């Protein structure tokens, strides 16, 4: 965990949710999330990306958007994939911070509130852990649990970090971090490790809070472990090489200097 830095207070939280054939879960997920954020008086938008659904997800999202003004459903009409859908949603998000959540109500909206408050303490990123004191999982598949623990132990060793739940998608970032981690290249579930590992390697501050996870009640899980192993390994090694061989070309300070230089040039050109 790195120390937080002074930051201006955040104004609006964007929630990005990828959704593919989630008509059995998405309505409950969105109503619960929206009500929780309103209860805690958090200005927000909810960007739900329909990622090539073949059921009634898109129609349901359009109907719900008439009830929930903060809901912004968008369709990814290009190549599909979990990572592509999240990147598409990030490109449409307008808040100054973002939380990535799942459509199946496995993530607790109260934890999103914890993320928001932690970001406002000055951290660039907030990561949740289901496997630390105060965290919990309910109905977690045994085989998936074993693979998850092995993968996260490997990442802890490889990058020398204490974070023990890197592979979980449910995380929060200041939007500056997302921009500083671009280009995002993982098209599938491997995006869940690309963003946090890039943020850590590039020097953004981060904190970890305990969270809870519940298995979906409807629909079918989209993650297929047999299909993802090599994709995860590629992204992990790509970022590992950046950590040791990029000589800081992509770090937080370099990005901020580039943004400041670009801002100065725009001001000069406008005079």
Buried/exposed 172-187: b ≥16 CB within 10 Å, e otherwise: bbbbbbbebbeebebb
Spatial CB neighbours of 24, under 8 Å, sequence gap ≥ 6: 217, 218, 219
Residue 3: the pLDDT is 57
Using an 8 Å Cβ cutoff, are 208 and 156 in contact? no
CATH of residue 93:
3.90.550.10
Beta bridge partners of residue 50, listed in sequence order: 19, 75
Instruction: Give how many domains the chain has, as a whole number.
Output: 1
The whole-angstrom separation of Cα 169 and Cα 167 is: 6
The structure's pTM equals 0.90
pLDDT in tens, the chain (271 residues): 665 555 678 999 999 999 999 999 999 999 999 999 999 999 999 999 999 999 999 999 999 999 999 999 999 999 999 999 999 999 999 999 999 999 999 999 999 999 999 999 999 999 999 999 999 999 999 998 999 999 999 999 999 999 999 999 999 999 999 999 999 999 999 999 999 999 999 999 999 999 999 997 765 555 555 556 889 999 999 999 999 998 788 888 877 777 777 767 766 766 6
Residue 2 lies inside a defined structural domain of this protein: no
Residue 221: the pLDDT is 56
Q: Which domain holds residue 75?
A: 13-270
Residue 97 lies inside a defined structural domain of this protein: yes
The whole-angstrom separation of Cα 164 and Cα 50 is: 30
Residue 195 lies inside a defined structural domain of this protein: yes
Residue 258: the pLDDT is 74
Residue 6 lies inside a defined structural domain of this protein: no
Instruction: List the Cα angle 200/201/203 in 5-degree steps.
Output: 70
Using an 8 Å Cβ cutoff, are 79 and 187 in contact? yes
Residue 93 lies inside a defined structural domain of this protein: yes
Residue 267: the pLDDT is 64
Residue 5 lies inside a defined structural domain of this protein: no
Residue 3 lies inside a defined structural domain of this protein: no
Residue 131 lies inside a defined structural domain of this protein: yes
């Amino acid at each position: 965990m790195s120390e937080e830095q002074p930051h201006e207070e955040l104004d609006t939280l964007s929630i990005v949710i990828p959704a593919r054939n989630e008509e059995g879960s998405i309505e409950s997920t969105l109503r619960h999330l929206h009500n929780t954020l309103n209860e805690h008086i958090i200005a927000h938008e909810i960007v739900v990306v329909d990622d090539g659904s073949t059921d009634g997800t898109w129609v349901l999202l359009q109907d719900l958007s008439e009830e929930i003004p903060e809901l912004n459903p968008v369709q990814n009409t290009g190549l599909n994939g979990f990572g592509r859908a999240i990147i598409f949603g990030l490109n449409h998000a307008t808040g100054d911070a973002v939380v990535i959540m799942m459509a199946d109500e496995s993530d607790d909206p109260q934890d999103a509130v914890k993320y928001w408050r932690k970001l406002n303490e000055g951290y660039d990123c907030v990561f949740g852990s289901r496997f630390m004191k105060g965290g919990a999982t309910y109905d977690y598949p045994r085989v998936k649990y074993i693979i998850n623990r092995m993968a996260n132990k490997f990442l802890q060793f490889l990058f020398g970090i204490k974070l023990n739940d890197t592979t979980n998608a449910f995380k929060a970032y200041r939007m500056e971090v997302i921009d500083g981690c671009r280009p995002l290249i993982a098209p599938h579930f491997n995006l869940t490790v690309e963003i946090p590992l890039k943020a850590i390697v590039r020097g953004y501050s981060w904190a970890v809070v305990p969270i809870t996870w519940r298995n979906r009640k409807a629909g079918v899980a989209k993650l297929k472990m047999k299909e993802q192993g090599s994709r995860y390994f590629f992204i992990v090694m790509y970022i590992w090489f950046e950590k040791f061989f990029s000589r800081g070309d992509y770090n937080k300070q370099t990005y901020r200097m580039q943004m400041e230089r670009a801002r100065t040039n725009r001001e000069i050109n406008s005079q």
